[in-house]
Amino acid sequence: MSCVSNYCVELCPLYIQTIDVSTVSNIDELDSEDDVSQLSVKQLKTILLKNCINYKGCVEKDELVTKVKTLWRAREAEKSE
């Protein structure tokens, strides 16, 4: 296995798919709720804006993460219905 820009490239059967969170700008691009914590503040705000969610009053990154995680859970619930 070889890594390019800190993300794994498939070269053998032991390949584990990873997500490049530096390019995420849409909630549907996240594979798991845990990926949300890795996003930058700018990415979190972009996701919230794209989904018409007000983040006014959020001062800490954790507050934005909580809102995006809530959104992610709601999207997953919609997919399973």
Residues near 9 by beta carbon (within 8 Å), at least 6 away in sequence? 1, 2, 3
| 35-59 average pLDDT score | 94
Angle between helices 41-50 and 61-80 (to 10 degrees): 40
Q: Which domains does the chain have, with CATH numbers?
A: 21-80 (1.10.720)
Residue 4 tokens, joined: 């390019």
Backbone angles phi, psi at 8, to 5 degrees: -75, 145
Task: Write down the mean pLDDT value for the chain.
Answer: 80
Q: Report the pLDDT value the prediction gives residue 19, as an integer from 0 to 100.
A: 52
Give 23's DSSP letter: G
Say whether pLDDT at 8 is over 50: no
Partners of residue 3 on adjacent β-strands: 8
Neighbours of 43 (CB within 10 A): 20
**pTM for the full model?**
0.72
